[in-house]
């Protein structure tokens, strides 16, 4: 928000003036109001490993994160480019595997990856789209450049917070919105539904779309219910669906009804107990048969995890060159691949200053943050790396950009990232902005909600 | 709509209605406990009410004697007993949460804040928690929930399943309250022969029928008229006839290919109450009538479940 000399950056100036004029007690009161509202509306997430039915709020910060239109426009084209390449990659991997034949990515990296689904080999999906909904995590590096930290192509979540945070800001501070031209985001559910309908099986004129959830005890249940309601589609659990004659039906009070598109919010492993985990109670037996027969669209497609795995991430810029013949608009964060000997040697020599991530880990678990780790933790990680270097990548500790955030002692800088949601179907679309996550502990770089992160409203300012 | 959704909506409404019925009973007995009168009468009424509601066993596991204060707390605030008012409010909210996408946000927020308030109330409960105030509040929340349902929900299947739950539960509850007092509803008994007029006020108040009775009969309270009002008056909102009529009408609006027998039975029940007379019921014996009625309500509930809520995989 501020330059080195303490002055506000241009697009924050109007907001900074407003903020200075706000008495502290009014802001404190608005924060309390926000908490009470989130509780009443039930915008909560379930916490794993705690008392059953425990629901917590994701802390909401009332200071927005602001992006000028010029920066957003560049980010938007970079995101579209990246997701197009990722979809082309997944299609290629499950068909001709040209990128492997060309030697751009080592074949065993892909084919021996636990996220590679041989069941998908040769299966055609409508429009060749696999990652219909992608959440791309973006950070800024030391030079202020945007970089992709991570691609989320399986069941990315968080978009409901993007929408609810905006609603909350407008409710708490309506005066801010008359003074700023903030690009709206509330049409996201319409765009999402349109996108899902556009990828229905060929020949279905008026497709029935449903949202498949693991149920009310899932950590993201609020979001599932919220999106289903906003789109006006049924929120189904595995037990509500069944497969008959290679087609999917839902059980309704008026008998079985055909389903054409499943926006699923459960992992591949749980989708079909006949093919994947046999103990899954969340899925639909026979779903994959209907899927392979082309009678149902599953969004995101099965097997997208092979493209967002941390071991594949370093190759995404190469994919953009390979499939699109373009140079990447947004780069990756520099990444050392520990299966390469010279990378491993460098990383082992520099552990205290790097971030080391397990390639299959998710949610901020299984990682080492060098600067914040104790000597014992570093030694422990060193042993793990030496034992299985293939399982790790390393990145520099980014000076993630910061944004003023309400902390216990008033406004203080906190690290943030940004997750825009990229929708692919007939076209590639992004509503302006995304979910800004913020690390609430001083100095912390972890923004995951399961690890004490919070969220902010994200503004793209129109000129 | 999804069968599972219908199931949750139906139970959501049943639990809210059950919470209200219990609150009414506690309220009536609580008022009675504030008046100077025989302790034995109050205990007797509490005992027969708990028996009719199948609560005695669970109560006896926790308390040795029927003590009004202990009964009120047990029925109202005990979070470990699944039949208590707070537990009903939690179940209503859990059912609503499972299908919050099918509810209007107003309805969901009403049910959610009811539960959040009930939870914080029971969490920091002091010995002086005012039971009278609590049950009054429960009634208000139930009124509000019903009002929001009627005022905001589309008149589609979701609405009809929710209403069906409400009225089936209410029919069951009214019949049980009558059962608890059936010994006082002896045919032909005169007002002055009734052991304790307090019992009448309990019964009538618990069903919001005290004022209606006065308006309808402009007469002293007699067992015969009380029974007639609570069983056969079509314009009495908690009477058995009224409840059966609503169940039947909502059932007709959601009919499917396999529900015709269920509809027939609901219609038969409604017709029986519509065309019978009090003399006929008393001739066969009121206890037998109530027992049979409760069995038919249970049957209807089971049939609704199989026809709509848990249909076989492939029809």
Check CB contact of A235 with chain B, cutoff 8 Å.
yes
The pLDDT, as a whole number, for residue A298 is: 97
Residues B245 and B145 in one domain: no
Looking at beta carbons, which residues of chain A come within 8 Å of B309? 253
Number of structural domains (chain B) is 2
Cα–Cα distance for residue pair A97/A120, rounded to 1 Å: 13
Looking at beta carbons, which residues of chain A come within 8 Å of B99? 235
Check CB contact of A234 with chain B, cutoff 8 Å.
yes
- Ranges of beta strands (E only) in A191-284 are 209-212, 234-236, 241-244, 247-252, 255-259, 261-264
B53, burial (CB in 10 Å: exposed 0-12, middle 13-18, buried 19+): buried
Residues 187-216 of A with CB under 8 A from B: 215-216
Residues B40 and B84 in one domain: yes
Residue B85 in domain:
yes
Q: Which of A92, A74, A80, A83 is nearest to A128 (CA)?
A: A92
**What is the band of A367 on the pLDDT scale with cuts at 50, 70, 90?**
confident
Q: Which of B236, B229, B213 is nearest to B278 (CA)?
A: B229
Helix axes B3-33, B85-98, angle to 10 degrees: 160
Mean pLDDT of B286-313: 88
In chain B, which residue's Cα lies nearest the Cα of A228?
Answer: B101
Residues B35 and B160 in one domain: no
At A228-245, the pLDDT tens digits run: 999 999 999 999 999 999
Name the 3-class secondary structure at A348. helix
Identify which of A216, A252, A255 has the shortest CB distance to residue B97.
Answer: A216
Provide CB contacts within 8 A for A256, sequence distance 6+: A242, A244, A249, A250, B314, B315
* Tally of CB atoms within 10 A around A445: 19
Task: Locate B79 and state its tokens.
Answer: 């979070």
Identify which of A42, A237, A244 has the shortest CB distance to residue B108.
Answer: A42
Q: Are A42 and B157 a contacting pair at CB < 8 A?
A: no
Residues B254 and B267 in one domain: yes
CA-to-CA dists, residue B149 to A233, A234, A285, B308, angstroms: 20, 20, 37, 21
Looking at beta carbons, which residues of chain A come within 8 Å of B1? 234, 252-253
Residue B93 in domain:
yes
Identify which of B3, B102, B257 has the shortest CB distance to residue A251.
Answer: B3
Q: How far is CA A113 from the centre of its chain?
A: 21
Residues 238-267 of B with CB under 8 A from A: 254, 256-257
Task: Locate B164 and state its tokens.
Answer: 């069906």
> φ, ψ for residue A148 (rounded to 5)?
-85, 125
Check CB contact of B6 with chain A, cutoff 8 Å.
yes
In chain A, which residue's Cα lies nearest the Cα of B109?
Answer: A41
Check CB contact of A46 with chain B, cutoff 8 Å.
no
In chain A, which residue's Cα lies nearest the Cα of B161?
Answer: A253
Residues B40 and B141 in one domain: yes
Residue B41 in domain:
yes
Q: Which of B253, B313, B159 is nearest to A255 (CA)?
A: B313
Residues B127 and B200 in one domain: no
Residue B101 in domain:
yes
**Which of B119, B153, B187 lies at the terminal end of a domain, its last residue?**
B153
**What is the band of A4 on the pLDDT scale with cuts at 50, 70, 90?**
low
pLDDT at position B38 over 60? yes
Q: Are A255 and B314 a contacting pair at CB < 8 A?
A: no
Q: Which one of A238, A249, A253 makes the best mutation probe of the B interface by having the most chain B beta carbons within 10 Å?
A: A253
Cα–Cα distance for residue pair B244/B248, rounded to 1 Å: 6
Q: Please tell me which residue, A61 or A80, carries the higher pLDDT value.
A: A80
At A330-363, the pLDDT tens digits run: 999 999 998 889 999 999 999 988 888 888 755 5
Mean pLDDT of A202-215: 95
Cα–Cα distance for residue pair A233/A235, rounded to 1 Å: 7
Does the structure's ipTM exceed the value 0.85? no
The pLDDT, as a whole number, for residue A1 is: 60
What mean pLDDT is reported for chain B? 89
**Which of B87, B122, B153 lies at the terminal end of a domain, its last residue?**
B153
At A408-418, the pLDDT tens digits run: 767 778 888 99
In chain A, which residue's Cα lies nearest the Cα of B115?
Answer: A40
The pLDDT, as a whole number, for residue B313 is: 47
**What is the band of B190 on the pLDDT scale with cuts at 50, 70, 90?**
low
pLDDT at position A128 over 80? yes
Task: Locate A175 and state its tokens.
Answer: 């005066």
Q: Are B313 and A242 a contacting pair at CB < 8 A?
A: yes
Residues B183 and B135 in one domain: no
Task: Locate A429 and state its tokens.
Answer: 């679309």
The pLDDT, as a whole number, for residue A359 is: 80
Identify which of B1, B4, B101 has the shortest CB distance to residue A225.
Answer: B101
Residue B143 in domain:
yes
Residues B162 and B305 in one domain: yes
% residues pLDDT > 90 (chain A) = 60
Q: Are B135 and B30 in contact (CB under 8 A)?
A: yes
% residues pLDDT > 70 (chain B) = 91
Gyration radius (Cα) of chain A, Å = 22
The pLDDT, as a whole number, for residue A169 is: 93
Residue B236 in domain:
yes
Rounded to the nearest 10 degrees, how much is the dihedral formed by the CA atoms of A400, A406, A412, A414?
-10
pTM, full prediction: 0.86
**Which of B153, B175, B205 lies at the terminal end of a domain, its last residue?**
B153
Provide CB contacts within 8 A for A288, sequence distance 6+: A119, A271, A272, A274, A275, A302
Q: In chain B, what's the furthest Cα-to-Cα distance?
A: 63
Check CB contact of B112 with chain A, cutoff 8 Å.
yes
Looking at beta carbons, which residues of chain B come within 8 Å of A253? 1-3, 6, 157, 161, 254, 256, 308-309, 311
**What is the band of A5 on the pLDDT scale with cuts at 50, 70, 90?**
low
Q: Are A253 and B161 a contacting pair at CB < 8 A?
A: yes
Check CB contact of A37 with chain B, cutoff 8 Å.
no
pLDDT at position A23 over 70? yes
The pLDDT, as a whole number, for residue B121 is: 83
Looking at beta carbons, which residues of chain B come within 8 Å of A40? 109, 112-113, 116
Task: Compute the residue count for chain B.
Answer: 315
Residues B76 and B93 in one domain: yes
CA-to-CA dists, residue B25 to A333, A362, B58, B62, B109, angstroms: 67, 53, 18, 20, 26
Q: Are A236 and B254 a contacting pair at CB < 8 A?
A: no
pLDDT at position A77 over 60? yes
Domains in chain A: boundaries: 10-333+398-461
Residues B262 and B174 in one domain: yes
Expressed as residue numbers, the domain containing B62 is 1-153
At A369-406, the pLDDT tens digits run: 888 888 998 998 899 889 888 888 898 887 567 788 88
Residue B315 in domain:
no
At B214-245, the pLDDT tens digits run: 889 888 888 888 889 999 999 999 999 999 99
Q: Are A35 and A56 in contact (CB under 8 A)?
A: no
The pLDDT, as a whole number, for residue A9 is: 80
Residues 250-279 of A with CB under 8 A from B: 250-256
Query: Where is A415: in which H helix or E strand?
Result: strand A410-419
The pLDDT, as a whole number, for residue B314 is: 43
At A243-261, the pLDDT tens digits run: 999 999 999 999 899 999 9
Task: Compute the residue count for chain A.
Answer: 463
Check CB contact of B123 with chain A, cutoff 8 Å.
no
The pLDDT, as a whole number, for residue A449 is: 66
Lowest mean pLDDT among A51-60, A445-454, B27-36: A51-60
% residues pLDDT > 90 (chain B) = 61
The pLDDT, as a whole number, for residue A54 is: 57
pLDDT at position A66 over 90? yes
Q: Which of A413, A340, A309, A388 is nearest to A63 (CA)?
A: A413
């Amino acid at each position: 928000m501020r330059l080195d000399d303490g002055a506000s950056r241009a697009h924050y100036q109007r907001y900074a003036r407003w903020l200075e004029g706000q008495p502290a007690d009014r802001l404190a009161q608005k924060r309390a109001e926000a908490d009470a509202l989130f509780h009443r509306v039930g915008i909560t997430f379930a916490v794993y490993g705690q008392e059953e039915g425990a629901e917590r709020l994701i802390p909401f910060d009332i200071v927005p994160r602001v992006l000028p239109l010029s920066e957003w426009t560049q980010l938007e084209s970079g995101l579209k480019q990246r997701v197009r390449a990722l979809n082309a990659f997944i299609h290629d991997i499950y068909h001709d595997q040209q990128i492997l034949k060309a030697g751009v990515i080592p074949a065993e990296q892909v084919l021996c990856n636990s996220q590679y689904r041989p069941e998908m080999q040769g299966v055609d999906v409508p429009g060749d789209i696999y990652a219909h909904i992608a959440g791309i995590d973006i950070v800024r590096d030391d030079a202020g450049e945007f970089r992709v930290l991570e691609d989320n192509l399986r069941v990315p979540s968080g978009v409901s917070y993007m929408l609810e945070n905006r609603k909350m800001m407008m409710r708490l501070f309506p005066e801010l919105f008359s003074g700023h031209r903030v690009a709206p985001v509330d049409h996201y559910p319409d765009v999402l539904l349109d996108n899902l309908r556009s990828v229905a099986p060929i020949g279905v004129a008026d497709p029935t779309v449903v949202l498949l959830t693991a149920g009310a005890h899932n950590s993201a249940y609020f979001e599932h219910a919220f999106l289903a309601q906003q789109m006006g589609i049924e929120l189904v659990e595995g037990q509500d669906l069944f497969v008959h004659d290679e087609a999917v039906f839902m059980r309704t009070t008026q008998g079985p009804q055909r389903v054409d598109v499943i926006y699923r919010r459960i992992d591949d492993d749980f989708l079909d107990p006949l093919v994947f985990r046999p103990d899954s109670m969340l899925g639909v037996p026979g779903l994959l048969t209907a899927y392979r027969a082309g009678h149902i669209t599953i969004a995101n497609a099965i097997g997208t995890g092979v493209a967002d795995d941390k071991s594949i991430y370093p190759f995404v810029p190469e994919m953009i060159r390979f499939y699109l013949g373009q140079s990447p608009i947004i780069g990756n964060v520099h990444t050392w691949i520990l299966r390469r000997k010279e990378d491993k040697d460098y990383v082992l020599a520099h552990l205290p200053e790097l971030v080391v991530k397990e390639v299959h880990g998710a949610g901020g678990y299984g990682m080492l943050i060098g600067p914040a780790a104790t000597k014992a933790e570093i030694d422990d990680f060193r042993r793990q790396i030496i034992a299985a270097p293939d399982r790790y990548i390393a990145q520099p500790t980014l000076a993630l950009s910061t944004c003023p955030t309400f902390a216990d002692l008033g406004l203080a800088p906190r690290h943030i990232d940004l997750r825009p949601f990229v929708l692919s179907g007939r076209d590639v679309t992004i509503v302006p902005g995304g979910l800004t996550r913020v690390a609430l502990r001083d100095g912390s770089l972890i923004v995951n909600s399961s690890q004490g992160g919070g969220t902010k409203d994200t503004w793209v300012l129109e000129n | 709509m999804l069968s599972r959704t219908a199931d949750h909506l139906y139970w959501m409404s049943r639990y809210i209605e059950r919470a209200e019925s219990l609150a009414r009973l506690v309220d009536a007995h609580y008022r009675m406990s504030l008046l100077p009168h025989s302790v034995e009468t109050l205990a007797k009424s509490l005992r027969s009410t708990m028996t009719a509601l199948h609560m005695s066993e669970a109560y006896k596991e926790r308390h040795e004697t029927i003590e009004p204060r202990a009964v009120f707390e047990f029925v109202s605030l005990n979070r470990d007993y699944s039949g208590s008012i707070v537990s009903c409010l939690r179940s209503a909210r859990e059912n609503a949460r499972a299908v919050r996408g099918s509810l209007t946000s107003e309805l969901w927020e009403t049910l959610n804040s009811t539960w959040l308030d009930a939870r914080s109330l029971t969490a920091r409960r002091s010995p002086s928690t005012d039971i009278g105030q609590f049950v009054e509040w429960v009634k208000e929340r139930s009124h509000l929930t019903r009002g929001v349902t009627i005022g905001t929900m589309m008149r589609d299947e979701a609405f009809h399943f929710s209403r069906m739950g409400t009225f089936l539960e209410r029919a069951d509850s009214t019949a049980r309250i009558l059962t608890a007092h059936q010994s006082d509803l002896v045919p032909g008994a005169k007002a002055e022969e009734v052991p304790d007029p307090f019992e009448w006020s309990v019964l009538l108040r618990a069903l919001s029928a005290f004022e209606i009775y006065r308006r309808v009969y402009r007469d002293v309270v007699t067992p015969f008229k009380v029974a007639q009002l609570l069983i056969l008056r079509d314009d009495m909102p908690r009477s058995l006839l009224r409840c059966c009529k609503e169940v039947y009408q909502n059932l007709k609006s959601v009919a499917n290919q396999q529900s015709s027998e269920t509809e027939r039975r609901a219609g038969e029940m409604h017709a029986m109450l519509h065309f019978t007379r009090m003399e006929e019921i008393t001739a066969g014996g009121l206890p037998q009538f109530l027992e049979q009625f409760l069995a038919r309500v249970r049957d209807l509930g089971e049939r609704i479940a199989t026809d709509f809520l848990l249909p076989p995989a492939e029809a």
